[in-house]
Chains A and B, each alone.
Chain A
């Protein structure tokens, strides 16, 4: 830096070269401050040169003044640029000094999650939410009445065999279907004003069948059931809702078809099927060659059931469907077989 600048020997190019050299040599904040002040400070070179401007001949004064102004502008820009450069360098230095290998094992609470059956139930709940169904619960240890008699399943029906039903020592049954909740709810609603109509319920939970267990059969599994009783419900409504539900679950381009079934508590009874996702309805081992896979059973609530709870089958009708959530959950969430859902092998629940 020049201690006593002389305006008479001022050369803009030389001056700017020196300014740039001085700023380029700055390596920290205090040097920057010192360099800035040496040019732009109260006693800085540029200020001092400006004070000497009157010594410059008139014909050159304008040129020199302009040169000094430019020099001042360059010094200011260099100050800001160097400041940014120093900050950036400082940040880089700080960053390069710290390294944490985030591929090392994590700590913390670990990974939790809800059961695939519940995930599937929620998926179905969400699809049916616009219809305004209420979720209801009922006992798992049931009376013969709610599990069978009230549902048009007479004493001689095969479903009541010891081979199919678990009986308790005190003469009750482990519910074989969530339809027993339907019976209780219809009984309860029928005592309300106007028969509690519309009755719009979803019941879901554990059911029990006296079946030898293997990879695809369990003595305890989960069902999901819907019941809607109201005046004017039709078979076509049931089919419409099921088509909506299955397309919601499997994709709107999935084909849905209905086949006749038999359930004692519904008439007509229908099975709802989708075209096989594996062979796309051409027929393969997984769909038994038919090209279709049954997803759920359904029907119009049998008039004997409606009558049992005091509803006039000529005035109201009911639609119902039930599906095995465990089987569907296995399919949706990649379980090789039904048993995996109940094995509780935590290794299979990772991720």
Chain B
């Protein structure tokens, strides 16, 4: 909205004229000033109006706000004398037209230029425009009602305001062809559509410099219908913009009288009397013509909301009256009033809250006495997800991992990359119907493609050590679909490392082998587990996105809660990543039930006895299977089994892996003989279960 200071001053006496001071007032009234242009003759304010305030799209509406703020009277625009209904014939046949008024008038040649240099965004047809078009635009800018002029000679028969029964094509007065959707409001004569109600007129009836008689339409259309039509047509006009936000339902006759006045004056008349050039006029309210809401208003509530105990009744009611409300006292003792919403505010004021908003705004938000609610002791339970994050952060950041935020979507290329390797189960990607572009069209089912892109890009940019983590959601449809649920969202902690473990360029921190990288990652996985008070175990896994020979499932008490390993070489190749990537993914909801607060562990008074053993493990046998088997066997006194390391002789495939078994009896000191017996059990168990031999 372009607000011209001079024009505003014609409508109301302003308490100040300094543009900077006025800007503060306009902001305070909810008329956000985006820019001020101070010219020698005109000062204009570029105002961003609130979406529900159609009455802020014109000067009279803004003048009313100043009237409310400063209790000054309005100098209303001058009008031609009262128009009385005559036989001008038209019919309203749709409930979406709330009111329709029209004026049939001669249109002699005259010139009109707004003294306030009104601008319109609507590009008219190439035919030179008649001055009446400028005049109508100027009245809209002044009073808010969009109007339309039809060339009387181009109309055939009676006008009807109807709802389009089916989609139809029109040629609009901007010279373009539009498809108008069914249900739209159409203005039709006996043979053709001459305008799309509230949106744009048709070329077939537009006024030109040759037009000698016209019909001026001043109507009120249902905002939602205008919006739907304009959106479907892919057009936004000054008219549709105003109708969508709601116009003054009582404006049509007044606006036509203003037009008659200005035409009269342009033709050299005084403007006041009904111009001789007006042939006929008619104003009809439709079936759905709205009644302004009548709302109860407790002044005590206003005082309480604003924390202004001494705000008196007159201060409140006089401002409401200045804004156009009808105010009636109902119960003096209770401070109950009844307010009738002004005809230009029925679209935005439906509740008592909205009236209070008006009072607060007009009285001045800066005058509200700030307060804080009375607090009672409250002990909110920490959100489990938040607790999870708070606990894992030190483990990850302490290991040098940086938190990142990746998008929640990726493109079909990522989907293809994953699909070629198969999905872990029958999950499917959740697709977006209206993605910004194809690269954002699929909700992420896995964080691997985005981490792959992130790592690959950063490596190319010369980052030599990449360690990142993200707590995010993955989305999908399919296997986890529960009854009545349309998709799943799962919170996951994902982290990945590539390149050097340390960003530093020290010679000692040269690139790690894949095994070193993965085992370093395993250390971080275990640290995360420790931070959460859970003990992670590792077992064989078959995640399709990880290298089949370099991955392990992460479990708690037999439940799989995640996976870690090296990203599949095919994905690395597809993602043009030149380095191996160690990747881990943990399912937060699976872990939470096992998570415990970390506390002190019981320390035994009895000494342990440790025995090391070196086993011959086949090439693809996971050492952790030995640990799991022995711990599950519940061998007496066996407290812990650790993997110490392994050695592969040149030319051999078999691995010599050393384990340490720790035995302890919390009630007494163990004898070596007792441990020897348990070690026999250990060997037997490993032989029978895995056919493993001692090296």
Contacts and interface: CB of A to CB of B under 8 A. Distances in A.
Contact of A135 (B386, B396, B407, B409): B386
Contacts of B669: none
A167 B396 contact: no
B51 A262 contact: yes
B305 interface: yes
Contact of B404 (A208, A235, A344, A350): A344
A213 B371 CA distance: 40
A347 interface: yes
A234 B305 contact: yes
A131 B375 contact: yes
B407 A260 contact: no
Interface stretch (B70-78, B80-88, B504-512, B600-608): B504-512
A169 interface: yes
In this complex, which of A156, A161, A304 has the most chain B Cβ atoms within 10 angstroms of its Cβ? A156
B323 to A, nearest CB: 13
Nearest to B469: A112
Contact of B30 (A112, A212, A260): A260
A121 to B, nearest CB: 10
B504 A106 contact: yes
B29 interface: yes
- Max chain B C-beta neighbours (<10 A), residue from A115, A134, A290: A290
A233 B35 CA distance: 36
Contacts of A198: 378
B461 A140 contact: no
A18 B240 CA distance: 115
B386 A270 contact: no
B649 interface: no
A169 B227 CA distance: 25
B487 A141 contact: yes
A241 B372 contact: yes
B436 A213 contact: yes
Contacts of B368: 235-236, 239, 258
B366 to A, nearest CB: 6
Interface residues of B, number: 99
B23 interface: yes
Contacts of A228: 373
Given A131-B375, A234-B304, A288-B35, A239 B397 contact: no
Interface stretch (B271-279, B427-435, B634-642): B427-435
B504 A206 contact: no
Residue of B223, B354, B399, B407 ringed by the most chain A CB atoms within 10 A: B407
A261 B503 contact: no
A195 interface: no
Contact of A344 (B33, B223, B360, B468): B468
Contacts of A111: 400, 402, 503
A25 to B, nearest CB: 48
Contacts of A20: none
Given A115-B403, A234-B305, A346-B466, A168 B378 contact: no
B227 A156 contact: yes
B370 A240 contact: yes
A139 B356 CA distance: 34
B353 interface: yes
A110 B504 CA distance: 8
A268 B468 contact: no
A237 B502 contact: no
Given A107-B506, A260-B29, A261-B30, A302 B353 contact: yes
Nearest to A300: B353
A126 interface: no
Interface string B25-56: 00111101111100000000000001111000
Given A240-B371, A288-B35, A170 B477 contact: yes
Q: Which residue among A139, A235, A270, A347 has the maximum number of chain B CB atoms within 10 Å of its CB?
A: A235
B400 A208 contact: no
B501 A109 contact: yes
Interface residues of A, number: 89
B34 A288 contact: yes
A141 B431 CA distance: 11
B604 to A, nearest CB: 32
Contact of B351 (A115, A170, A292, A303): A303
Given A139-B489, A237-B373, A259-B365, A109 B403 contact: no
A189 interface: no
B357 A105 contact: no
B453 to A, nearest CB: 9
B369 interface: yes
Interface string B466-499: 1110000101010000000011010000000000
Given A166-B435, A257-B366, A347-B461, A219 B440 contact: yes
B393 interface: yes
A168 B431 contact: yes
Contact of B458 (A132, A133, A134, A346): A346
Given A112-B400, A289-B36, A158 B51 contact: yes
Nearest to A212: B436
A230 interface: yes
A241 B373 CA distance: 8
Interface string A118-149: 10000000000011111111011100000000
A22 interface: no
A274 to B, nearest CB: 13
Nearest to B27: A259
Interface in A273-324: 283, 288-290, 292, 300, 302-304, 313
Nearest to A268: B357
A89 interface: no
A190 interface: no
A262 B486 contact: no
Given A110-B503, A166-B435, A233-B373, A270 B365 contact: yes
Contacts of B386: 135
B505 A342 contact: no
A350 B464 CA distance: 13
A112 B383 contact: no
A57 interface: no
Nearest to A204: B386
B339 to A, nearest CB: 15
Contact of A259 (B32, B404, B434, B502): B32
A105 B20 contact: no
The winner among A112, A208, A211 for most chain B CB atoms within 10 A is A112
B2 to A, nearest CB: 16
A97 interface: no
A170 B378 CA distance: 41
Contacts of A161: 231
A131 B380 CA distance: 10
Contact of A112 (B307, B373, B401, B409): B401
A162 interface: yes
A110 B486 contact: no
A349 interface: yes
Given A107-B502, A262-B50, A262-B52, 17 more contacts: A105-B509, A114-B403, A115-B404, A166-B433, A169-B432, A172-B486, A198-B378, A206-B473, A213-B436, A219-B436, A234-B306, A240-B372, A258-B365, A268-B356, A268-B361, A347-B463, A349-B402
6 contacts: A106-B506, A112-B399, A135-B382, A135-B383, A168-B431, A210-B436
Across the A-B interface, give the 7 residue pairs with the lowest CB-CB distance, nearest first: A132-B378, A260-B30, A110-B400, A105-B506, A112-B397, A268-B357, A236-B307
